[in-house]
Structure 1
Amino acid sequence: MQSPEVPKTKRIVLIAHDNKKEDLVEWVQLHKEILSKHHLYATGTTGKIVHERTDLPVHRFLSGPLGGDQQIGAKIVDGEIDVVIFFWDPLTAQPHDPDVKALLRIAVLYNIPIANNRRSADYLISSDLLASSYKKTTIDYSTGLPIY
């Protein structure tokens, strides 16, 4: 069962499609000081690049097309991910598009904040909630009522 509280130190996932990896790395470099206070996770290639270019510790899952998106989705279901930063490329077809959609669906279902571009990531990282614990709310989809 998921904890009703999101911890002060967040577990943040970083994902980027190939055409967006450079943009994500630049964003991480700009926010390195803030991100260094949290636990970072990423799909395989993205995590490797972020670590090499920023020296931040990053727990790496498999590459997205090899199951990394599904691994992250499972961690969300288990209550082990608090924020998703996913710079996705809306103009390029992805061979693992069903996995991407499943990941986004699970994140929304479990009320996980998601940033899908640089501006939304800037809003998330500048939120006061990023550096504090707070009670999370999810929806019991069998009743439609919030669970606190």
Structure 2
Amino acid sequence: MNIALIAHDQKKNDLVQFATAYQNIFAKHTLFATGTTGQRISEATGLSITRFQSGPLGGDQQIGALIAQNQMDAVFFFRDPLTSQPHEPDVTALVRLCDVYSIPLATNMGTAELLIRGLELGLIEWRNIVKENGGMNE
């Protein structure tokens, strides 16, 4: 499975801790992340991560492009709902794309726990069928 890891500045520590706690599960998948988030997770865990630009510089859009091309299977996006983001339209677009293409999206620790356990149990394997059939919206 292709998994995106994204976190706003105030949530980066939370995502690093989460990735560290579940690195044995994440290690079985192909990981992508926005700039600093990917670097911090890689340094803390040793996981191999394809890194894009930081979110404000287009990283959210780069991950969104993979979603639109049916190449992303799950997104862990630890958002900071209490801080205004200068690239809020990009954030909203990324969340919308997850909804359009039925990509599981965790925006907080509670949902992330459920999604990671689903990955561990193979409950997201339906994504392989979707990819084989060219996507859900075709």
Same fold per superposition (TM over 0.5):
yes
Counterpart code for 1:15: I
Q: Rg bigger for which structure?
A: 1
Counterpart code for 1:56: L
**Which of the numbers 103, 115, 122 marks the counterpart of 1:129?**
122
**Which of the numbers 56, 61, 66 marks the counterpart of 2:52?**
61
CA positional deviation for 1:53:
0.9
Match of 2:84 in 1: 93
Match of 1:81 in 2: 72
Structure 1, unmatched stretches of 5+, are 1-9, 141-146
Match of 1:143 in 2: none
The residue matched to 2:72 in structure 1 has which SS? coil
Q: 1:92 to 1:119 in 2, by over 3 A?
A: same
Equivalents in 1 of 2:22, 2:123: separation in Å? Answer: 13
**Which of the numbers 7, 17, 28 marks the counterpart of 1:16?**
7
TM-score (norm 1): 0.84
More helix per residue: 2
TM-score (norm 2): 0.89
Structure 2, unmatched stretches of 5+, are none
Equivalents in 1 of 2:61, 2:25: separation in Å? Answer: 27
Q: CA RMSD in A?
A: 1.5
Q: Which has the higher contact order (CA 8 A, sep 6+)?
A: 1
CA positional deviation for 1:79:
1.2
Aligned length: 131
Runs ≥4 residues deviating over 4 A? none
Equivalents in 2 of 1:121, 1:48: separation in Å? Answer: 20
More strand per residue: 1
